[in-house]
Each structure stands twice: as C-alpha cells, then as structure tokens.
Amino acid sequence: MLKYYHAEPLANSLKSMVPLKEKGLSYESVYVDLHKFEQHSDWFVAINPEGQVPVLDHDGTIVTHTTVINEYLEDVFPDAQPDSGPLRPRDAAGAARMRYWNKFVDEHVMNHVSMHGWHRLVGVIARNIDEGTFEDLLSHIPLPDQRKKWATARSGFSEADLANASEKIDYALAKVERQLGETAWLAGDTYTLADINFYAHCGAMVERMFPEKEVAARYPRLVDWRERVTARPAVAEALKSEDRTQPGLRTWSGDR
C-alpha cells in the first residue's frame, strides 16, 4: 500500500505527486497542513525526523526527498505507466541526462525560487505569529537550516540575497530555453522526471512569480514546454488537489 504525505500541489509536494498520477498508482493521500506547522509536530516527525514534506510510505518503507522518491517509484513500478513511457529513460545515457537535469534543478534552481516564495508567502505567515509563539515553533524544527530559513522569512530576506537568487533563476531559464531548442524535453526526446522537477519548482509558476522577467517574450520554447506539461492529464489532476493557501497569498505561486 502507498501513502503520500504532502502539502499544496506545488514545489516538492507536486513533484512526487505527478509521477504517482502518471503511473496510475492508487495511494492514500495524507494532507499535512504547513500553515499549522503540522510538519514539525510529534506525529509527523515520528514519520520523517527531518520534519519536511513530502514523504512516501510504501508498505512501511519510508522514502523522503523528492528526487529519491521519484527514482524509487521508477524502480518499484517501472511498468505502471498506462499513458506514458518510462519517466526515467531505460538506456544509461538517457538516465544520466535525466539525472544531470535533476541535479541542476535540485542544486541550482529549487532553493532560489523557494527563497522568493518564502519571502512573499512564508514571510507573511511568519510575521503574523507573535514573538513568543514563533520562538516556540522554531524550537520544534528539526533541521538547523530550516530553522534559520523560518527565522529569516520572518525578519525578511536581504535584497542582495533576493537579487542573487533572481540572477540564478535567469541563468536557469536561459539554460532551459537553449536545451529546448535542441530537444523536445529536458533530457531528450521523451518526458522524464527532469521535466517534472523543473516544472514543479519553476516552470509552472515562473511567469506569475516574476512578471518582470518577460518569460513569454524571452523564453518562448519554455512556455510551449510548460503548456505541454500542464496539458498532461496526470499533471492537471495533481494541480487540482487540495490547496489551503489563503487566497490573498496565492498569487506568488499562480492562480491554481
């Protein structure tokens, strides 16, 4: 039996939900309410000691970190794709290209987009909590880096850090645009976990988060690719899942 612990269909929670849907796997969905800090609560930390979503529970095997979860699903359910081919190419060269892009997104894209998201969304949530309660919430966050990130979200990320993150995103957009001039999908001729990764962390919402980047005019291949990913029934279904983000705070990630 599969159980998927997740938050809103965005970023990491979306990234491993899409392969589950692409593969047509039935799973129990367990919504973890990040607005109520459920990810740091005792019941959840007992499942994932790092206190982060998403988590996959497969017959009691707990798998964390989306890139690891997605490869695990490929290993355990290689033939479960009714509508698509494998999400990881079966040849070694194709798999290496997919992992190259996954590594790029994980190390050079995800945190930079995330900083802008946290600045706009988590910062608002964190500033609405009174000082004493916030200190108590911080003390329950297992990962030191995550504790720092929450504290910084409350005080505000520096303009220099935000500008640096924005430059890194420009670099990533140009790199993806170039790649899509050579191949239909990031890792070659087929849709893979790398496309899902970049889509979940950047492609799906980059235009709405960063209108000043003029994505439609400057990165037309990326927009075309984004439409092709969005049109996939599995992606559309994942995007429809529960979203408790306060409507006023949703614009940073798009009007889902």
Binding site for ligand GSH (CB under 6 A): 7, 11-13, 34, 39, 52-53, 65-66, 146
Sign of CA dihedral 32, 241, 224, 249: negative
Closest distance of CB 127 from ligand GSH, Å: 16
Q: Scanning the structure block, which residue is given the tokens 């290993």?
A: 75
Closest distance of CB 31 from ligand GSH, Å: 13
Nearer to ligand GSH by Cβ, of 5 and 219: the residue is 5
Closest distance of CB 6 from ligand GSH, Å: 9
3-state secondary structure of 128: coil
| 18 touches 238 (CB < 8 A) | yes
How far apart, in Å, are the Cα atoms of 12 and each of 54, 64, 186, 213, 215?
7, 11, 19, 23, 22
Q: How far apart are CA 227 and CA 222, in angstroms?
A: 9
Task: Put the strands of the sheet holding 28-31 in their side by side order.
Answer: 28-31, 2-6, 55-58, 61-64
Nearer to ligand GSH by Cβ, of 34 and 222: the residue is 34
Nearer to ligand GSH by Cβ, of 85 and 156: the residue is 156
Nearer to ligand GSH by Cβ, of 13 and 245: the residue is 13
In terms of Cα–Cα distance, which of 187, 122, 181 is closest to 149?
122
- What are the two backbone dihedrals, phi and then psi, of residue 2, each rounded to the nearest 5 degrees? -110, 135
Closest distance of CB 146 from ligand GSH, Å: 4
Nearer to ligand GSH by Cβ, of 83 and 242: the residue is 242
Closest distance of CB 158 from ligand GSH, Å: 20
